[in-house]
Every structure is written in structure tokens, then in C-alpha cells.
Structure 1
Amino acid sequence: MNQTKKELSYFRLKLEGYLRDHHPELVANSAFIGARTDLALSSYCDSVAQGFSHLEAEAMASEILYQGLHFSKYDTLVSILMEEFSEELPDPLPYRLAPILLGNKSVQAVFSKYELHDDFDGSPEYELLYTELTGTIVLLIEENHLPTLDKAEA
């Protein structure tokens, strides 16, 4: 039983760290975290019981732990802000602005047009999403008169 709690804590911490870095909108979703952690732990235990090494079992459990989480809206927004707005929004502003943009209705509407999946960032639709999000961010900055650094100030 003590060993089970240790693995459960390990998988929970591993998932929570990943969510903090790539899916901050899910960090407070304890039901999701609990369910995903339980699935990963069950996979790990089953794999070890079937004779897989601990490293192999952990790899299998990690697949379950991160399933559906490889594509990140947050990472996409940070990438756009860093690539397209690097002069106007220097580091660390993209990391601070991305969670705010995630909650914006216009940004949410853009994301909702696409069927997002683990390999989405390698798909042709990703470029369309990227372009549409960039345009939406430009409009949000202009319409809301958000302060940015002028290129001459940078």
C-alpha cells in the first residue's frame, strides 16, 4: 500500500508539473488530474505485473498520463507572442499574457473551429490556426488599446 501511494504521488506530481508548464487552464481541474493519475497508476501496476521492467511500465503509464495533452493551446499562444510580437512584447510578457488570452472569448472561438489533437501542431491546419490566432491577437491589441513597446523603444 505504501508503494502504491508513492507511485500515485509520483504520477500526480509529474502530471501537475506538466500541466503547469503546458496547460495552466487544467491545473485546478482536480477531477481530471485524479482520473488521469489513477489510469496511469493502473497501467503502471498492470505492466509490472505482466513482467515489463519498471522503465517500460513508466513509459506506458506516461503515454496514458499525457494522452490528449501533447498539443497545448497555451504553448501555441506563447509561441505566437514570442515569434510574431517579440519586439512589442518582450520576455516574460508572452508567458504572462498567454493565460489571459486563453480566457478570451475571441481566442476561444478561434480554437473551437479546429479539431485539436496530440499531433495537431504537425498538421496543415496548424498553420491556419496560427495565422488566425495571430490576426485575432492583433485585433485584440488594437481594439483594446493594449500597451506594447514601440519598436523604437525596444
Structure 2
Amino acid sequence: MDNKRKDLSYFALRLKELLHISFPELANDLKFIDQRLKLAENTYEQAFLNGNRIDICTEIAEKVLFEDLHFSKFDLVFKVVCNEFHQLMADEELRPFSIKMLTVCETVFAQYTLTEEFADSPEFDILYTELTGIIQIWIEENGLQ
């Protein structure tokens, strides 16, 4: 396996790991994954051809690979579920329930512009409260299915 191929599988592993953990809604989107990997591959190759060191090439390619993946809706929903509703379910049910709630919470997320800096903004606490409310309402109307 040549160095370039090794680096590309590194990118695939990094992207898939991030998607599995923080963006489960994209984890099975093969078109998205393939597009990102091709962009990272091309970026890495161009950076290398431009004379950059390997670590710089990797850094440049990762910026493309992870573009717009800085704020995870799932991570926030999971945080809300763990902090506010953990007593209602077993630990192993928290993640699957959070994945289900991600769709339910989409209408709330649509009201916000989620940038890299959003987590440090005053709006973050408002979003957290709104997510808690919509999940509470869903549980009251549907139970913990």
C-alpha cells in the first residue's frame, strides 16, 4: 500500500468515525462520504504537489473533509437526553432514543443558524431549553417507544 492510499484510508476512517459518533444522520450517506473523500484526496494531492509537508497536506485535506461538520445537532440532542431524561431509560437506550429525537427536533433547529461559534452564543441556552421542551412534549404524547 503506498503512502497516498494509506492517507486516504486514514481520511475515510476519520470521516466515518466522526459521522458515526456525532452525525449519525449522515453515517450511511454513501454519496456524501464519497464526495468528501474525493475532495480530501484531491486537496491532499494538490497540497503535496505544491510542496507542502505531509502533516500540512493532511491538515489542509481535513479542513475540506470536515467542512460544515463543526456543530453536531445529534451531540446536542444526546446531551439534552442524557442531562434531562436519563432517569427515564436505561443507559443503552439513550443513544437510540436521541437518534429518534433528532428528527423530532429538526423544526427547532431550523430556527437557528448553527455555526462553529454557536455553542458559545447566548442563543445556545435558548435552543437547549427549546429542545428539552419538544422532547418532553414528545415523551408525554408518545411515551418512550
How high is the TM-score relative to the length of structure 2?
A: 0.89
Structure 2 gaps, min length 5: none
Determine the C-alpha separation between the residues in 2 that align with 1:118 and 1:69. Answer: 9
2:140 is matched with which residue: 136, 139, 142? 142
1:82 touches 1:94 (CA, 8 Å); kept in 2? yes
**How many residues matched?**
145
1:16 touches 1:27 (CA, 8 Å); kept in 2? yes
Determine the C-alpha separation between the residues in 1 that align with 2:2 and 2:53. Answer: 20
Note the 1:64-79 alignment, pairs <5 A.
64-79=64-79
The match for 2:112 is 114
- Counterpart code for 1:139: I
The match for 1:102 is 102
What is the CA distance between 1:115 and its match in structure 2?
Answer: 1.3
What is the CA distance between 1:2 and its match in structure 2?
Answer: 5.3
Determine the C-alpha separation between the residues in 1 that align with 2:95 and 2:144. Answer: 16
Per-residue Cα deviation, 1:34-53 (whole angstroms, up to 9, x for no partner): 11111111221122222221
Determine the C-alpha separation between the residues in 2 that align with 1:98 and 1:20. Answer: 13
Give the structure with the larger helix fraction. Answer: 2
Per-residue Cα deviation, 1:3-42 (whole angstroms, up to 9, x for no partner): 5444333222221111011101001211111111111112
The match for 2:126 is 128
Residues 9-18 or 130-139, more deviating: 9-18
SS of the aligned residue for 2:48 comes to: helix
Query: Are 1:7 and 2:43 an aligned pair?
Result: no
Determine the C-alpha separation between the residues in 1 that align with 2:8 and 2:114. Answer: 28
How high is the TM-score relative to the length of structure 1?
A: 0.84
Structure 1 gaps, min length 5: 148-154
Residues 130-139 or 120-129, more deviating: 120-129
The match for 2:43 is 43
Percent identity between the two aligned chains: 36
- Aligned-residue CA RMSD in angstroms? 1.9
SS of the aligned residue for 1:87 comes to: helix
Determine the C-alpha separation between the residues in 1 that align with 2:88 and 2:3. Answer: 50
Residues 81-90 or 30-39, more deviating: 81-90
The match for 1:82 is 82
- Counterpart code for 1:44: Y
Per-residue Cα deviation, 1:50-101 (whole angstroms, up to 9, x for no partner): 2221112111111111111111111111111111223223423221211111
Per-residue Cα deviation, 1:91-125 (whole angstroms, up to 9, x for no partner): 23221211111223xx1111111112223222222
